[in-house]
Structure 1
């Protein structure tokens, strides 16, 4: 609307002016994509495609995925080379955060990697299995009391794994975050707390401050969301010598 120069109004208590909705929308800066962080790509599925091989599928959360990169999958600790990256049946030279991609990996069986695993750059802060983690949780609706030893299912990125509330460290005020009580015996609906959690099966998570999409989770039990939380710190398990495919060794030597 080139004829429209914005609007002005004069009232007794002062004048005001404004723009059109479209002009206001044009002024909004798009959010920056976290391309500067190391790669994190939680797997949504893994397919076996005839004539191509194993194709894990997932969304790039942080960093950049490129063909020729050597990636490590956690917590299974498998390292391999990325042959190609595709989005909507088109080959990509790089995949950025927010892109849902499939990527072909060499010498890896469909049994080696699965949904809930996380792919990352083997040379730049590779993802690792979490032995345990400290989280800040808010109990939304639980009919009883939650005490240490409670082991519901956690949904974090694409992982769906039972985790144990190993220790209730402190109860906090849910608005200010101030400590209310050390070592509470139990938690009930409406409470916020800092807790130590231990996964029942190998799992890869990150702290919310480092990788936000991998540091948020929902606690599910009795077919409902019992609590939500963010991960404050992760106790990473130093992986032993995992499976490194021949193509990954070649690619690493070439560089």
Structure 2
């Protein structure tokens, strides 16, 4: 009998509009974490109708209609997939300050985290400013012993 697979919880954290949900959605889609071509095609059409085509992968994870309308993650979005060594749970955490409590609740259960930082100069500067969230998110993960 082979070695049992390890469970790992990976949390995607970062500033609002940094691309957390899009990154997590791509990862979920390309690892076949519960999405199929038909679902993705429907999301692509819905995003095009709402003129936010770039949101199609983010919407792979978003389940609330309000998340589609507002364009932000409100509740933790969870997807699972399996590799040869691991059972992986990807959790997309809200980045908007209004939903910070939801992000904290989720981070408490994380084994590891991926901090997404926007690459655009203005977004990076905003996230790194005194009122930005990059340091706050990293400090929270560190304080909760997330690797």
Output the TM-score relative to the length of structure 2: 0.34
Q: Using CA pairs under 8 Å that are at least 6 residues apart, name the structure with larger relative contact order, 1 or 2.
A: 2
Output the TM-score relative to the length of structure 1: 0.23
